[in-house]
Amino acid sequence: MTKNRNFKVEVRARMAMTGEKYTVARRAVLLERPADPTPPPEVTASPRPGDAPIQ
């Protein structure tokens, strides 16, 4: 099952309405959608056992 089923339905509806090819309709739908308001999580390096300073 696809993760973005609703998105694909929206793209295919635009294709049917405008006669555009899938990639053109997909790009247009992406540009019409609002940007994701949540930024991606920050990636932090986790210490590995060999990273400890030698004493």
Read off the pLDDT of residues 5-44 as tens digits, 9 standing for 90 and up: 999 999 999 999 999 999 999 999 999 988 777 777 787 7
For residue 29, being part of any structural domain is answered with yes
Task: Decide if 8 is inside a domain.
Answer: yes
pTM above 0.85, yes or no: no
The confidence score (pLDDT) of residue 26 equals 96
Q: Output the pLDDT for position 51.
A: 65
Look at residue 40 and tell me if it is in a domain: no
Residue 9 included in any domain: yes
Rounded distance, CA 13 to CA 22, Å? 10
Instruction: Decide: 38 and 52 in contact? Cβ < 8 Å.
Output: no
Element (H, E) at 28: helix 22-32
Q: How far apart are CA 36 and CA 51, in angstroms?
A: 36
In a domain, 46, yes or no: no
For residue 1, the model assigns a pLDDT of 60
**Which range of residues forms the domain containing residue 28?**
1-34
User: Would you say residue 43 lies in a domain?
Assistant: no
Residue appearing with tokens 């932090």:
44
pLDDT at site 39: 74
In total, how many domains does the chain have? 1
Residue 42 lies in a domain: no
Look at residue 39 and tell me if it is in a domain: no
Q: Are 11 and 23 in contact (CB under 8 A)?
A: no
pLDDT value at position 52? 66
